[in-house]
Amino acid sequence: MTLSRRGLLGATAVSLAFAGLARAQTGAETYRNEIAGYGPLVADPNGILDLPAGFSYRVVSYAGQEMNDGYLAPYKADGMACFPLKGSRVILMRNHEIKHTKVNEGPLGMARAIKKRPRPDRVYDIDASGEPLPGGVTRLIYDTADGTLHRAELALAGTSTNCAGGPTPWGSWLSCEETTVGTADGLGKSHGWVFEVPARAKGLVAPVPLTAMGRFLHEAAAVDPVTGIVYLTEDGPAPDRAGLFYRFIPNTPGQLALGGRLQALAFRDLPGADARNRGDQPVWTQGDTRAVAWIDLEDVESPNDDLRYRGHTAGALIVGRGEGIFWGQGEAFFTCTDSGPDKHGQILRYRPSPHEGQPGEADAPGALQLFLEPTDDRVMDFPDNITVAPNGHLILCEDRYSDTLKNHLRGVTPDGQVYTIARNAYRDNAELAGVCFSPDGTTMFVNIYWPGITLAVTGPWASLRA
């Protein structure tokens, strides 16, 4: 079932009042555009998503909705990617960032009331009660022409805290666990892995952790289609959330399960630097670019969950809350959600060496640029999931939990000018997540993380104004 903007599940005057209260508390509009973009946002009468005039959305899926395989759509819809199918149909691969203890949020429903259970060989891990962990991936088949959800099902089961990930050029979804729980927490196996899920598979896939890609607090992944190298972000542990930026050089491009080398990025002329620009002496300023080196990592399965510390000791660069990453035209953009002197976040751009991962790389190294470091939370605040739109602009989801600062969907031009595309108007003001586009560019998909709503947004995408 798919609902339109004009009629949604339980949107009430309460949610509209909440949105109005948030604006009143700020004393001004919740956003500021550096270019006109698509124009001012118009309040959504259903209290779900505010969009510019001419744009509209459909609700594709929502938490608790019964799926075609008999399970319920899980809560906490996070990272997502879109893959082509036949005609106007697409496949959405969607993560659910559900911890192993939050069993009521998973596909078995409240108190695991759904009696059906997946085959044991299709479940990665179980808890102390013998039940599958509630995290994982769902697969949605949606028709962009008629706005209909044709199928919804589980694709990966028994994992934990599936945060973001990334699509591969060969048609699979890399789902990343942002946790390193394990047997000490009453579970049967260790976590903190990347899992590969073919988009065109049917039903649950056999869950195989890609252990050579490291065990850490994985956030997202992006694949260079030329080299097959996978770039990985890390949302480090509290309280400082410091992590590393990684690359995985596969033994056989396109076959990640066959292993490879994991490395961490460092500034070539400043080993062990901190890219967050905290304190009185920033390492770099917006627009700066630095040559990089890559450090080989040992014991990447990291049973002590110390990979980031060992990497930094060896000279790797510290980044703050590395989150979304997406491969554009020969380069990767990734977000550092709470970096910067005012903790509004950063966007970094990595340009690979012409000899990336090969002999001769040191003579022509890759480069990392501080592409954007916002200073005004109304322009951008806490950027998280990211994609590159068909027009080449970056699209960013915000991840700020606040009673007064709303979460927006932002666009960024190639020269770093920011404009606002949407605002979360739903109650609880959860982060926006999983932004991606249909292959034909007509439809943008985005999740409202909590409770877990997937939206399809259409409108005059070609009408952008500078």
Residue 225: closest CA among 332, 86, 360: 332
- Please state, in angstroms and rounded to a whole number, the distance separating the CA atoms of residues 333 and 222: 9
Amino acid at 118: P
pTM for this model (two decimals): 0.93
In this prediction, residue 279 carries a pLDDT of 81
In this prediction, residue 12 carries a pLDDT of 30
Using 50, 70 and 90 to split pLDDT, how confident is the model at 281?
confident
- At 29, list the tokens: 């509009």
**At CB < 8 A and 24+ separation, what contacts does 260-264 make?**
260/212, 260/213, 261/296, 262/212, 262/213, 262/214, 262/296, 262/297, 262/300, 263/294, 263/295, 263/296, 263/297, 264/294, 264/295, 264/297, 264/311, 264/314, 264/316, 264/317
pLDDT tens-place string over residues 338-373: 999 999 999 999 999 999 999 999 999 999 999 999
pLDDT tens-place string over residues 200-228: 999 999 999 999 999 999 999 999 999 99
Report the SS3 class of residue 391: coil
- Spell out where 192-241 has E strands: 194-198, 218-223, 230-234
| 33-72 per-residue burial string, b: 16 or more CB within 10 A, e: under 16 | bbeebbbebeebebbbbbbbeebebbbbbbbebebebebb
Residue 193: closest CA among 73, 302, 318: 302
| Cα–Cα separations (whole angstroms), residue 243 to 1, 80, 164, 372 | 41, 22, 16, 19
Using 50, 70 and 90 to split pLDDT, how confident is the model at 21?
very low
In the chain, where are the structural domains located? Answer: 63-209
- Please state, in angstroms and rounded to a whole number, the distance separating the CA atoms of residues 137 and 134: 10
pLDDT tens-place string over residues 387-413: 999 999 999 999 998 888 899 999 999
pLDDT tens-place string over residues 288-314: 999 999 999 999 999 999 999 999 999
In this prediction, residue 402 carries a pLDDT of 85
What's the average model confidence in pLDDT over 89-110? 98
- At 237, list the tokens: 């542990």
Using 50, 70 and 90 to split pLDDT, how confident is the model at 67?
very high
59, pLDDT greater than 50: yes
| Cα–Cα separations (whole angstroms), residue 208 to 121, 184, 199, 305, 362 | 10, 21, 15, 20, 34
pLDDT tens-place string over residues 142-168: 999 999 999 999 999 999 999 999 999
- At 288, list the tokens: 């700066």
In this prediction, residue 3 carries a pLDDT of 36
Residue 349: closest CA among 333, 365, 335, 366: 333
- Please state, in angstroms and rounded to a whole number, the distance separating the CA atoms of residues 107 and 98: 10
Residue 146 neighbours by CB under 8 Å, 6+ apart: 88
Q: Are 402 and 429 a contacting pair, CB within 8 Å? A: yes
For the chain, percent of residues with pLDDT exceeding 90: 91
For the chain, percent of residues with pLDDT exceeding 70: 94
In this prediction, residue 17 carries a pLDDT of 32
Residue 337: closest CA among 374, 373, 383: 383
In this prediction, residue 344 carries a pLDDT of 95
- Please state, in angstroms and rounded to a whole number, the distance separating the CA atoms of residues 220 and 231: 8
Run of H or E residues at 21: helix 13-26
More confident position, 93 or 26: 93
- Please state, in angstroms and rounded to a whole number, the distance separating the CA atoms of residues 237 and 246: 16
What's the average model confidence in pLDDT over 165-190? 98
In this prediction, residue 13 carries a pLDDT of 29
- Please state, in angstroms and rounded to a whole number, the distance separating the CA atoms of residues 55 and 44: 11
Residue 304 neighbours by CB under 8 Å, 6+ apart: none
Q: Are 336 and 291 a contacting pair, CB within 8 Å? A: no
19, pLDDT greater than 70: no
Report the SS3 class of residue 164: strand
Residue 15: closest CA among 293, 386, 425, 459: 425
445, pLDDT greater than 90: yes
